A and B are shown apart, each in its own frame.
Chain A
Amino acid sequence: MIEAIRDAMDVMMARDGDVVVFGEDVGFFGGVFRATQGLQAKYGKTRCFDAPISELGIVGAAVGMAAYGLKPCIEIQFADYMYPAYDQIVSEAARLRYRSNGQFTCPMVIRMPAGGGIFGGQTHSQSPEALFTHVCGLKTVVPSNPVDAKGLLIAAIEDPDPVIFLEPKRIYNGPFDGHHDRPVVPWSKHELGEVPDGHYAVPLGKAAVRRTGADVTVLAYGTMVHVALAAAEETGVDAEVIDLRTLVPLDLDAITASVGKTGRCVIVHEATQTSGFGAELSALVQETCFYHLEAPVARVTGWDTPYPHAQEWDYFPGPARVGRALLETMEQ
């Protein structure tokens, strides 16, 4: 998936001279996860370069660049490092269009590796998507596979507004279904690992059905799509697994169509539960599908704790917990 993300930036830098890529260790080093490797050599130091360790400064500068028509695609090294920049993201990037009566816009992308599963502990594992979806003026994207990652990132760079692009780092090198004790399966063995060449966009706001089913709808994104698929197979529950792909804008039509059919809904995310994005999804399902529901909407999420170092797999909502929720929802 790393190559797909790099490819998206490569394609867009080649097509559009206004696309600029920068961040901590992004230029010479090629990024902590090597997402920008080779871009500086190809496009030069004015278009792909290193920034000091100054998240607030990086985002603030990008907002200024975007306001003047550039299209910065910047990297925050880990989503957990975003907090110093949150003021710029919320107060400036997200609000520039509204505040300037549409005269100035902020066409920028902030890429951030997010999520756990790599023993990163509390400062290298968080999933802060709800902190962005709560902010009007931002779009929030979480890809679950290489084909989508490239197409969604291209769409994000082409989007006229600020887009938060959260990359689940656990699936950079292969799909991960939560069975941490099994060997890593590379993307080359997965149908969505075959990334088309050249330019293509996956539109923001369109979910994808990863598994059709009749009994229960599972709403997931990022790594959890693979966990949900594994849980469906392992429990034998005929689940319809929907990969949201973008949280804002949200494909509510796809959700209501599926829940209207199945009458049951399980929401899965890795972030902590309280005020997580699952709460929003649950409320929307209740509001739009109430008369179709045959069971309460269930949530399987990370626990309401900091991301632990030693107890990573106790925290992580793996296929056993998701499977249990599927079975319980079916019993109701």
Chain B
Amino acid sequence: MAIAKKASPIPSASPATNGQGAAPPELGKAVELAAYRQMLLIRRFEEKAGQMYGMGLIGGFCHLYIGQEAVVVGMQMTLKEGDQIITGYRDHGHMLSCGMDPKGVMAELTGRRGGYSKGKGGSMHMFSVEKGFFGGHGIVGAQVSLGTGLAFANHYRGNDNVSLTYFGDGAANQGQVYESFNMAALWKLPVVYLIENNRYAMGTSVNRASAQTDFSKRGLSFNIPGDQVDGMDVRAVKAAGDKAVEWCRSGKGPYILEMMTYRYRGHSMSDPAKYRTREEVEKVRTERDPIEQVRARVIANKWASEDELKKVDAEVRAIVNEAAEFSTNDPEPDVSELYTDIVR
């Protein structure tokens, strides 16, 4: 068997990849500044989580979202009250963007009772009814079927809410993804399938695992429309997200968005990342960083000064430090919790 090994392409800088065929519409001062703050919060949180892992405060598995921040932050702007979000195991960014408390998220990472799952779930397994966040799922691709079910519930209730179902390029090869696509299209369910294509399923690049590497086309045989989106540009994410979410809200059925993105860190904390070059990572970091893009526009448009942005950074760091402190000092769950929440 010949398995071709091609160089892994980095996310395209072309504005044509936003699915609109043109440069994404500007978001303006208020939205860009809000996006900047949110993305920075995710990045600083993840950097801190990485440090705390190194210090032994977080054990087991920990998958950082650094580099992909524009995806969740842009998509969050397209949602309204009652919409649902569900994702896989690289979930910290999704939780922070939908407004979950950084203290509760970090305390779950450290396995403390103040964590969203009382410390019993860990990094990959957290939920928030209040924020419409349906998890954090450790089994690759399993959440895609659940997200389809959430969309069915919307359909059944007759509301116009949308299920935002995130998964990665790796999960996109699971069989149940296609069973879900078929049902969602068959029953016209309001679900946006959001494929975060960060180019690597753990250590396996898309070229080595996928016969069709254009994931936006994965729904074609079910007549599900799909767009490839520059997932490093929050404007492009927002524009494509608005279009897809509106499609779903108006009862036309599911939509696929392939977010071309990139993770800077390894798959998890034990990944030496030998499957790609340092130069490849550096190139994306310097040329395509989602936060730097916003920052450059903010400065160029004089929406904020360097000092004001530094102040944002300081505020974000304070939030993250508070979360770190809480999650370090909060006690572990009582042993009586071992048997709670199994069945009633």
Contacts and interface: CB of A to CB of B under 8 A. Distances in A.
Partners in one complex: yes
B338 A119 contact: no
A81 B202 CA distance: 15
B111 A309 contact: yes
Contact of B61 (A29, A52, A124, A305): A124
B61 A121 contact: yes
Nearest to A32: B202
Interface stretch (A42-50, A145-153, A260-268): A42-50
Given A46-B1, A311-B333, A123 B138 contact: yes
A315 B337 CA distance: 11
Interface stretch (B29-37, B171-179, B180-188, B250-258): B171-179
Interface in A302-331: 303-306, 308-311, 314-315
A52 B209 contact: yes
Given A45-B3, A49-B1, A118 B342 contact: no
B119 A309 contact: yes
Contacts of A80: 138-139
Interface residues of B, number: 48
A29 B175 contact: no
A54 B179 CA distance: 13
A49 B175 CA distance: 20
Interface stretch (B121-129, B191-199, B217-225, B314-322): B121-129
B296 interface: no
A305 B338 contact: yes
- Main SS at interface, chain B: loop
A81 B118 CA distance: 24
B43 interface: no
Interface residues of A, number: 38
A28 B337 contact: no
Given A84-B174, A84-B175, A310-B332, A121 B209 contact: no
Interface string A1-31: 0000000000000000000000011011100
Given A54-B175, A121-B124, A311 B209 contact: no
Nearest to B339: A305
Given A119-B122, A121-B123, 4 more contacts: A24-B204, A32-B202, A57-B175, A310-B112
Interface of A: 24-25, 27-29, 32, 45-46, 49-57, 80-81, 83-84, 118-124, 303-306, 308-311, 314-315
28 contacts: A24-B202, A24-B204, A25-B201, A25-B204, A50-B3, A50-B204, A52-B210, A54-B173, A54-B174, A83-B139, A118-B60, A120-B60, A121-B122, A121-B123, A121-B125, A122-B121, A124-B138, A303-B338, A308-B120, A308-B338, A309-B108, A309-B121, A310-B111, A310-B113, A310-B333, A311-B119, A311-B120, A314-B338
